[in-house]
Structure 1
């Protein structure tokens, strides 16, 4: 028995070591591009053109950040991204909460096909629908406007939010709703006063993912908004390039500045996001 237990423990340790090694590789693959972007943003234009490339800037400079943040229109790009991302996230969370509650609690048929359809929509490639969406928005006069991005962003990210929220709501004890009903609360009051506080981790998870995706989205923002007054940060950074020059330092400096809000959001709500992802993974 002791020999078998020793072999079992050895097998578990090997498995844990393999998992840890895989996690380290995944972190390295994810972090190295970000590290290279940060390093390049502090290099001079001359140093960025040297071969082989330097891993540490020989003469660190903030000129790239001054040029990126001081360029005409960049503050407007930040404002446009904030308006679009915050609006789309708020709408997604509001609609997703009610839809997730309905799928988790209301008696209805065909929940399985509905959840499958939502999952398929959430992974549908954006490039496949950009052209028909452009034609629709042109007919509705939504091009070069905030709503021209808010509406499709909401449509694309709402299914994922519904999926996360529905799975999280399934883990909330039904007795809480019964007690609220006995006290005279209606469905809406029960949802807002009883269910909403319990679903905060899932809301934070869906909110962070939606905000990040809408803040960094490029294809639809480039296609639907051609006027400078409605361009978002990703499109504005792409416009730093000219016909004869690609200022990598300025581009990476702008990208680093645009990454700061996302990094702060993830750091502040990291525990809630992890909790919400765990609920979504465990509940069926």
Structure 2
């Protein structure tokens, strides 16, 4: 009598899911929710009715949406002028910072200057200073030059604040460019200015886009200087105008119009970053290779 051999091959077990496989997506999801929750709350509040905003318990997702708060912004205040003022000031200060910072960064990257390391270190230290330290000095300058209620009282300080960061970022990019390319351009008859405008700057567009957007956002969101140096109602910028929105009485806080003003003030920055996102990523990753 023969016996059949026992089949001792182990039965396939169900694959176990390691905690590391779900911990990372869960962490990323929580971080995204944590970062976007305030923006989503402002967006929903701007579309809520006044009854939903004042309701107790809090209404997180309203069942009824309205554009009343946005209409109120443009009917009661010249909000389009505020947006235009912010755009003009931020754009001109950014162009000025890039126009002055790029040649300075190119000189630091290519010329052998005495005390170059000390100069670069001083520029780095200046970037760490909060702009509020310049407030009293700038106030005296604005009063002495009679620049109150003048766009120059904002454009020049914003450009000066963004200038050190522009120099450091652009210098890092200029150092990565091969010198042979510049030598070949000089052989072809390019001057230093022509070389910088026609050869070097087009190759550093990611750096220009990254630095320009950072400078633009800084100028767009600045509040203290804009609140102090500009008091004329038609010349105010968005942060100041949004902070001065009032209700029908001193005891009423217009949460809806404030949320709408916040959304309108943030939307151009979001669109700008989304439009230049590739250049920003290239600029940040390339600029981190070599300092």
TM-score (ref. length: structure 1): 0.90
1:39 aligns with 2:44: yes
Partner of 1:203: 208
More displaced 10-residue stretch of structure 1: 138-147 or 114-123: 114-123
Find the partner of 1:28 among 30, 33, 56: 33
- Would you tell me which structure has more helix in proportion to its own residues? 1
Q: Would the alpha carbon gap of residues 108 and 237 (structure 1) be closer, same or farther in structure 2, given more than 3 Å must change?
A: same
Question: How far apart in 2 are the matches of 1:17 and 1:140?
Answer: 61
Larger radius of gyration: 2
More displaced 10-residue stretch of structure 1: 108-117 or 245-254: 108-117
SS, match of residue 59 in structure 1: coil
1:282 aligns with 2:286: no
Question: How far apart in 1 are the matches of 2:24 and 2:284?
Answer: 19
CA displacement at 1:25 relative to structure 2: 4.3
Find the partner of 2:188 among 171, 183, 191: 183
The within-5 A match list for 1:9-24 is: 23-24=28-29
Question: How far apart in 2 are the matches of 1:14 and 1:163?
Answer: 42
In the comparison of the two structures, how many residue pairs are matched?
272
Partner of 1:136: 141
CA displacement at 1:19 relative to structure 2: 6.8
Partner of 1:267: 274
| 1:186-205: CA deviation from partner (whole Å, max 9, x where unpaired) | 11111111101111000000
Q: Would the alpha carbon gap of residues 20 and 171 (structure 1) be closer, same or farther in structure 2, given more than 3 Å must change?
A: farther
1:127 aligns with 2:137: no
Question: How far apart in 2 are the matches of 1:59 and 1:36?
Answer: 15
1:244 aligns with 2:239: no
CA displacement at 1:27 relative to structure 2: 3.0
Partner of 1:105: 110
Question: How far apart in 1 are the matches of 2:214 and 2:20?
Answer: 31
SS, match of residue 288 in structure 2: helix
Question: How far apart in 2 are the matches of 1:69 and 1:212?
Answer: 23
Gaps of 5+ in 2: 1-17
Question: How far apart in 2 are the matches of 1:17 and 1:219?
Answer: 44
Taking only aligned residues, the RMSD between alpha carbons, in angstroms, comes to 2.0
The within-5 A match list for 1:18-167 is: 23-167=28-172
Gaps of 5+ in 1: 1-12
Q: Would the alpha carbon gap of residues 154 and 17 (structure 1) be closer, same or farther in structure 2, given more than 3 Å must change?
A: farther
CA displacement at 1:261 relative to structure 2: 1.2
Question: How far apart in 2 are the matches of 1:268 and 1:35?
Answer: 21
CA displacement at 1:64 relative to structure 2: 0.8
TM-score (ref. length: structure 2): 0.87
Partner of 1:255: 262
Question: How far apart in 2 are the matches of 1:71 and 1:213?
Answer: 28
CA displacement at 1:139 relative to structure 2: 0.9
Q: Given that residues 171 and 283 in structure 1 are in contact (C-alpha distance below 8 angstroms), is that contact kept between their aligned partners in structure 2?
A: yes
| 1:176-233: CA deviation from partner (whole Å, max 9, x where unpaired) | 1011011111111111111011110000001111111111111110011111132101
SS, match of residue 53 in structure 1: coil
